Chain A
């Protein structure tokens, strides 16, 4: 960013509106629509929600200031910690999906014919509405005639052993893995694969040529050339996915499991939704939101402190 100082070398007779004033006026004119909306729908709500987190309010009776009660209650709320764990568990899809994205990108980077076709197919789940996808997967996970359990039974038939798949979405142990599998399917060929593909295409050719002259194997070339070269992308994807992951999980759980069985697929944001918009405990919900914010903030700080140096920037 360049700061340009307009200084007139000689002092002329001052006009009514100086050009600097005109520029300021113009700037605020351009800013106004966005700035007003930004203030009303983003800035002020941030402060309002901070105040709300110290208030008890059910939207019907007048709000009451309760100090730190919401936060103390939240820290003692075993459900909150359970749902925090659920949220982190479900983030298990992130490394799986990223590894898959990288593999697909590596395959797509082989200068093959039909790349556009494959890329389009892989991108399909990303552009389809979540709700339709989640309904489809609710069917696929059906215990009696879903695709997964039919396939498992078929495999059992082939080996003459009676195999029976789990009740994916209604069994506490299987509901989270089921959501993870679906999430990997949904995200593996989306944004991350395309970012990886762009990163792979950006690796300088001569690095590979140099490695080949040194007699490096394919694995060595990947590990010593490709991986360090694309690590800024890996870092970017991982950071964005984790920040997103803390706030994720509402849509699929709402459609597929309703947060159950026994709260095993309820995430932090789902809990917040329930408190705010089902039970109208606005203060408590605001406290959840701020704790979530705090978690994300701490993660971002730690990320820079610990991993900041492990990335190869050129």
Chain B
């Protein structure tokens, strides 16, 4: 009898402990989420204020958080101040080219490294690996000089081509290809399938998760890249979004309402895409983190 009561109280204590633990976790997570969202909320509210009234002591404090004015003109002004639509198109074009180029060439090279025998393979792969250690800063200057000699400065090519060829993509995909079972390929070989056939019909379809990861990361990396386009582009009409936004700031350094409207216009499409695709990001990070 005594023993049973003891078990009951223990169970209850454990349940209470669980509830408390979850409560603490929720409080912590909610506080964290509030800290994450607060700056964005400030951005939205500021972007909707009248330019002269960004701050006033006469207002109650919560009016700085909840948009009660809707001065949409900020968005119109920002849209007209610089060619935002053009920046968008540039960014989309550049990012698609970089992503396509990188995924296709990396997959091909990774297949050769993972599955084909050829003299010098291991040495060459080691050379690839070794350059992953070299900081981008080292190659930045010679690549700039090379592009200048080619007359590519201030062209999309100058942003796209150096972005395509990274050892990282080849490495990631090679590691994934190595984990694929060889039996299917052997069977295909006996059936007289060419190397390209094996690559196209067997390896690629089996590697969708890795390809999706590389695609997402390459696209995002290219979309967010600021420094390199800043270095090689000069004409406003060729700017990608980040460079365009920085250019906008240089023109309207203290027009906060317009600056925030411009920033929001830039962030919003990505936010929407992200909310629908966040699962792939998470899977991708796990994949690369564990492999890396």
Contacts and interface: CB of A to CB of B under 8 A. Distances in A.
A59 B144 CA distance: 11
Contact of B22 (A4, A110, A198, A293): A110
A1 B122 contact: yes
Name which of A49, A112, A119, A189 has the most chain B CB atoms within 10 A of its CB: A49
Contacts of A273: 227, 231
A28 interface: yes
4 closest cross-chain pairs (CB), A and B: A37-B165, A145-B55, A34-B109, A48-B142
Interface residues of B, number: 97
B245 A45 contact: no
Interface stretch (A124-132, A163-171, A221-229): A124-132
B135 A34 contact: no
B35 interface: yes
A180 interface: no
A119 B242 contact: no
A147 B124 CA distance: 53
Given A195-B286, A277-B231, A289-B138, 4 more contacts: A27-B116, A30-B108, A124-B271, A132-B267
Nearest to A127: B274
Interface string A117-150: 0111111110111111101110110101101001
A296 B133 contact: yes
A277 to B, nearest CB: 5
Contacts of B289: 191, 194-195, 198, 233, 236
Contact of A118 (B29, B42, B161, B165): B29
Interface stretch (A9-17, A77-85, A203-211, A247-255): A247-255
B263 A132 contact: yes
Contact of A45 (B37, B138, B178): B138
Name which of B29, B139, B161, B227 has the most chain A CB atoms within 10 A of its CB: B29
B222 to A, nearest CB: 12
A63 B178 CA distance: 46
Given A33-B108, A198-B289, A282-B145, A122 B22 contact: no
A35 interface: yes
Nearest to B174: A1
Interface in A249-276: 250-251, 254-255, 269, 272-273, 276
Interface stretch (A67-75, A88-96, A101-109, A304-312): A101-109
Interface string B5-31: 000000000000000011001101100
Interface residues of A, number: 93
Contacts of B282: 119, 194
Given A30-B199, A59-B148, A46 B28 contact: no
B286 A194 contact: yes
Contacts of A107: 25, 28-29, 32
B138 A147 contact: no
A30 B111 contact: yes
Contacts of B64: 150
A302 interface: no
Contacts of A31: 108-109, 112-113, 124
Contacts of A27: 112, 116-118, 121
B105 A34 contact: yes
Contact of B278 (A23, A28, A119, A188): A119
A129 B267 contact: yes
B75 interface: no
A272 B286 CA distance: 33
Nearest to A128: B267
Given A34-B109, A41-B143, A296-B133, A130 B224 contact: yes
Given A34-B108, A124-B40, A147-B39, A108 B29 contact: yes
Contacts of A119: 278, 282
Contact of B119 (A1, A24, A198, A286): A24
B285 interface: yes
Interface string B143-179: 1111010000000000001101111001000000010
Contacts of A288: 137
B117 A122 contact: no
Contacts of B285: 191, 194-195, 198
A54 interface: no
A40 B131 CA distance: 13
Contact of A139 (B25, B224, B245, B259): B259
